[in-house]
Amino acid sequence: MEHLIALTAAFLLDLWIGDPRWVPHPVRLMGGLIHFLESSWNKGRLRRFKGVAMVLIVCSVVFVLTWSITALGYHVHVVLGVVIESFFIWTTIALKGLKEASMNVYIPLMESDYTRARHHLSMIVGRDTDYLGESELARGAIETVAENTSDGITAPLFFAFLGGGPLAMLYRAVNTCDSMVGYRHERFYFFGWASARLDDVLNWVPARLTSILLLILEKTRFQTKKEAFTLLFRHSKRHPSPNSGWGEAVFSILMGIQLGGENRYFGEISMRPTIGIPYEKMGAEHIKAAHHIMMRATLYMILLLWIGGAVIEVAVTWS
């Protein structure tokens, strides 16, 4: 129950103040350690082995430190333990930050200021944004929200439920390793292999749970529930990531839009399979619709975790 109280407090804290720069953020410290190990080890032979060692060291340091501080807090007083755990979980979720980043694209789009919208989108995606029109700018923002609803919000909450602040921080350590070195290009192809694979494994359940939960509880305007689930299971496999496709698929189904398609990276065209059926033409208003879906997905996950916690408490009491 302490974990549930802590993760709920963390959610409310993120909703209230987000990720202020004046707060010492553990993820920045993780990033510093990852950068140091990568610059020292990502050279010469045995790069895949060194990448495995890197992610194990980062995860071990983060988990041991977080567990030690949290345990000390609970040893002093249960309330102090919950406060410390809430702080750690808060640093692993990014609901407000994700909303603000996409709103930075939405606001100039509503003002037809495409230059400013392109600039803000370039801050959150890797694709070229110089020549994108309204629908493609909206697609970039929506895909960012859809892909990150699980790994930036519901997945940390899921692991916080299982193991409190220490496990949520362990998840965030893996996710940070993946975001920094888990790329397929030459520099990180071998060194980032372990980070990318471990991140895929940890996100497997939360990504699917979040999407299925949304489709069960949300109204589907464009298909029957059966048709929507068929589309979810079919189109989620089209994304190159084994987990991100689930977020994009359920968001596209609920909004009646189509994601994926043509992207440009450094001037070169990259074609991705499309996800969803375009019942509506995509525009800026769908960014706000994506925000509402993201918020409801978070609330549904928290509700599910509380129900699960209550069931576990009753089962333990009866046993």
The reported pTM is 0.92
- How far apart (Å, rounded) are the C-alpha atoms in residues 198 and 70? 25
- Other CB atoms closer than 10 Å to residue 182's CB: what's the count? 23
Backbone angles phi, psi at 130, to 5 degrees: -60, -35
Residues listed for the chain:
319
Check residue 109 and give its pLDDT: 93
Distance CA 89, CA 3 (A): 10
What is the residue type of 139?
R
Rounded CA-CA distance 61/63 in Å is: 6
Distance CA 297, CA 211 (A): 8
Residues 12, 15, 17, 19, CA torsion sign? positive
In Å, what is the CA distance from 42 to each residue of 182, 190, 279? 13, 9, 47
Given this model, what pLDDT does residue 207 score? 96
Bridge partners of residue 275, in order along the sequence:
259
Contacts of 54 by beta carbon, 8 Å cutoff, 6+ apart: 34, 37, 38, 41, 177, 181, 191, 194, 195
Q: By the 8 A CB rule, do 147 and 104 touch?
A: no
Residue whose C-alpha is closest to residue 188's, from 30, 35, 27:
35
pLDDT for 72: 96
Q: pLDDT tens per residue, the chain (319 residues)? A: 889 999 999 999 998 887 777 667 788 888 889 888 888 888 878 888 998 999 999 999 999 999 999 999 999 999 999 999 999 999 999 999 999 999 999 999 999 999 999 999 999 887 888 888 899 999 999 999 999 999 999 999 999 999 999 999 999 999 998 888 877 777 878 888 888 999 999 999 999 999 999 999 999 989 999 999 999 999 999 988 899 999 999 999 999 999 988 888 777 787 888 999 999 999 999 999 999 999 999 999 999 999 998 888 888 888 7
Q: How far apart are CA 218 and CA 244, in angstroms?
A: 19
Position 125: which residue type?
Answer: V
- Do the beta carbons of residue 120 and residue 108 sit within 8 Å? yes
Cα separation, 104 vs 272, whole angstroms: 25
State the pairing for strand pair 268-275/259-265.
antiparallel
Cβ neighbours of residue 57 closer than 8 Å, sequence gap 6 or more:
33, 37
Q: What angle do CA 187, 191, 194 make, to 5 degrees?
A: 140
Q: Per DSSP, what are the bridge partners of residue 262?
A: 271
